[in-house]
Amino acid sequence: MDEDGVRRHGQQDRDDAELMFQGVARQAEWVRTGKTTSRALVEAALRRIARTDAVLGAFRVVLAEQALAEADARDADGPENGAGPLHGVPIAVKDELDVAGQVTTFGGSANRTPVTADSEAVRRLRAAGAVVIGKTTMPEFGQWPFTESAAHGHTRNPWDTTRTPGGSSGGSAAAVAAGLVGAALGGDGGGSIRIPAACCGLFGLKPQRGRVSTAPNPHLWYALGTVGPLTRSVGDAALLYDVLAGTTPADRWSARPATTRWVAALETPPGRLRIGYSVKPAVPGVRPHPEHVGAVLESVRALRELGHDVREVDPRYPDATAPFAAQFCGGVRAEADAVERPDLLERRTRQTLALARLVPESAVERGIRAGERLAERADRMFTTMDLLLTPVVAGRPRPVGALDGAGLLTALARSRPMVAYTALWNVTGHPAASVPAGLGEDGLPLAVQLVGRRDDEVTLLRVAAQLEEVRPWAQRRPRPPSA
């Protein structure tokens, strides 16, 4: 390539990055006002994926031709013809959600047949005008907080490609953090939205159980799992939840409907709140990294300056081990029983299944009921405070390869520091969010977790938006390598 070609190529890279790092609300606005087109957005995303994803491993499959055709259709419709709030915007989808015409792999290789219809969450994205650009990587059945699988290899953190992006929605997080898409759908059954958001410097809200449909499946790991986006900003998350919120008759759980649109709710400050903070993990025997303790204390300072009453508390967490284990086993068993080629499941997954088959369905249902009792106990925390502030994970993102050669017991042991602050809230169903809190000495992101009352995602969003305003993070960009 001659000097002019190098210069043009470099300018193209910069232009593509400028488009992709804007986030979905700004991208939709630019399409709506004619500043760009859906095709231009999709082409920019595809070029960035082509340059970086061979190293990052964020995508299991890229739907280039289909996405370009969808973009052309969006542009032909024109944003003036009743277009949805995501008109023309490319979005990625975690590979546990159905996308019509594609195999839903759940992170493995045991399924081979494409599905014929979108999941409800994907259907809602398309109805809002989004373009599905690809499916992102995950560990098999989302069992682990590391995005690694025998079928699809390692997914890497854009901030340091020797490190994990977390999991199980690590492909979605890596794609958004690297500016390959403005947002991506994930799922959270034990921290799988919040953990990769924390590792990759994103905003990740686990919504109230039953807030977003899991249809056509009646549940995602029974009462544990929720569907939601990973985004660069709080506003983008609010926009996407306005699109995604709602269930169908196929869903086992349904949350109390929100009283206001979430984007509109961000226009109203939360007022002076009582916020408790603690660095004590919900899993005994785990110690938080000093920088994570520091991130909590720095957030305490910021929240006090914002006018909130912030005090250290002892949460007296209930023990959620038994109900979580029962639902984890039941959820993995249910998904494994539905695959076409169980002989192709990973060795580690077969070990999980051997254990899961010892857990009868009645024990899973008892676990769900026990989780509801724990939720009532956890509710008592929120009689004296409006929000709880904690770390998201105990340790820093570890080097990739956490699951290499690891059997079930080793994988569980390596996972404990990653889920020590998150999994409880899947058992109880409370909304919880990972909020960026700067960078550590290792150059990787820091984050804190905000936990709210049941059915009160709006307060979480309002306070997270305040933190975002006083310490902006959305335009902080890693430099992912070129393939």
Alpha carbon distance 376, 213 (integer Å): 23
Q: Is residue 192 annotated as a catalytic residue, yes or no?
A: yes
**Which is catalytic among the residues 38, 94, 299, 415?**
94
**Which is catalytic among the residues 109, 119, 172, 192?**
192
Strands (E), 151-265: 153-154, 183-188, 203-206, 226-231
Q: Is residue 168 annotated as a catalytic residue, yes or no?
A: yes
Cβ neighbors of 251 (< 8 A, separation 6 or more) are 210, 213, 214, 215, 218, 219
Alpha carbon distance 177, 170 (integer Å): 10
- How far are the Cα atoms of 26, 146, 202, 335 from residue 179, in angstroms, in the given order? 14, 20, 11, 31
* Residue 448 near residue 252, CB atoms below 8 Å: no
- Tokens, residue 194: 């919040």
In eight-state DSSP terms, residue 159 is T
433 — phi, psi (to 5°)? Answer: -135, 145
Cβ neighbors of 134 (< 8 A, separation 6 or more) are 49, 59, 60, 61, 62, 63, 67, 92, 93
In eight-state DSSP terms, residue 153 is E
Cβ neighbors of 400 (< 8 A, separation 6 or more) are 146, 148, 154, 155, 156, 162, 163, 164
Phi-psi region of 442 (alpha: psi -120 to 50; beta: other; left: phi over 0): alpha
Alpha carbon distance 208, 444 (integer Å): 28
Alpha carbon distance 429, 374 (integer Å): 10
The single residue listed with the structure tokens 């990625």 is: 92
**Which is catalytic among the residues 38, 119, 149, 168?**
168
- Tokens, residue 380: 């008592």
338-370 burial, b if ≥16 CB within 10 A, otherwise e? ebeeeeebbebbeebbeebeebeeebbeebbeb
- How far are the Cα atoms of 10, 15, 44, 52, 474 from residue 7, in angstroms, in the given order? 5, 12, 17, 19, 27
Alpha carbon distance 330, 333 (integer Å): 5
Question: Helices then strands (H, E): number in the chain?
Answer: 16, 13
Q: Which of 148, 162, 168 is nearest to 402 (CA)?
A: 148
Phi-psi region of 463 (alpha: psi -120 to 50; beta: other; left: phi over 0): alpha
* Residue 93 near residue 229, CB atoms below 8 Å: no
Active site amino acids: 94, 168, 192
